[in-house]
């Protein structure tokens, strides 16, 4: 018997030096695991954060992005709603985003300061011009959710 040469050939980009094009087209099936609850929450217009359930733990504030376990004492955390109004801690307008960015170049990125939260969530500003200290409120992409962090955005409050 004789086996045929392969049908699939690599495109030659250049002869000298020899450059060939390796196509990559497959998908990763990614699990958010315990953080999935946060993304479910966005579809219900809720920002779900977590806090440590251990009464002896020194960190009483909320984690957002949520953590399923407390990094200070390794105890389990509990889900709780975070405030939907906060202030812009810092911002940038990304002019040359990388491949895969689902929003247009020129979208303002922001970090949001929320009362009672120990972190400054990175997000984006859907309307208006960003400024440090500017009050903002959360808006949610519930119609055609992307199931990513982009389903949460902020507008001037």
- Piece of the chain touching another protein by CB under 8 A; list 2-10, 44-52, 75-83, 92-100: 92-100
**How far is CA 75 from each of CA 62, 65, 79, 118, rounded to the nearest angstrom?**
14, 17, 13, 17
Cβ closest to another protein, residue 3 vs residue 56: 56
Strands (E), 26-119: 48-52, 77-81, 85-94, 107-113
To the nearest whole angstrom, how small is the minimum distance from the Cβ of residue 53 to another protein? Answer: 19
- Contact between 120 and another protein by CB under 8 A: the answer reads yes
Residues 6+ apart with CB under 8 A from 1: none
- Contact letters for another protein, residues 34-73 (x by CB under 8 A): -x----------------------xx---x-x------x-
- Compute the distance between CA of residue 65 and CA of residue 130 in angstroms, rounded to an integer: 22
To the nearest whole angstrom, how small is the minimum distance from the Cβ of residue 155 to another protein? Answer: 16
Residue choice 4, 44, 99, 143 for contact with another protein (CB under 8 A): 99
The 10 Å CB-count burial string (b at 16+, else e) for 53-79 is eeeeeeeeebbbebbeebeeeeeebeb
Residues forming contacts to another protein in the complex (CB under 8 A) are 14, 17, 19, 22, 30, 32, 35, 58-59, 63, 65, 72, 89-102, 107, 109-111, 118-124, 132, 148-150
């Amino acid at each position: 018997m004789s086996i045929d040469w392969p049908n699939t050939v690599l495109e030659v980009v250049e002869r000298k030096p020899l450059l060939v094009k390796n196509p990559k087209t497959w998908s990763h099936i990614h699990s958010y695991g315990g953080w999935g609850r946060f993304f479910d929450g966005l579809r219900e217009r809720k920002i779900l954060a977590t806090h440590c359930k251990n009464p002896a733990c020194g960190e009483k504030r909320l984690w957002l992005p949520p953590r399923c376990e407390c990094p200070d004492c390794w105890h389990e955390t509990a889900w709780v709603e975070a405030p939907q109004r906060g202030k812009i801690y810092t911002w940038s307008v990304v002019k040359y985003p990388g491949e895969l960015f689902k929003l247009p170049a020129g979208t303002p990125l922001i970090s949001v300061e929320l009362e009672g939260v120990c972190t400054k969530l990175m997000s984006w500003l859907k309307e208006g011009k960003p400024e440090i200290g500017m009050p903002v409120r959360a808006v949610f992409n519930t119609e055609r959710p992307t199931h990513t962090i982009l389903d949460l955005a902020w507008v001037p409050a």
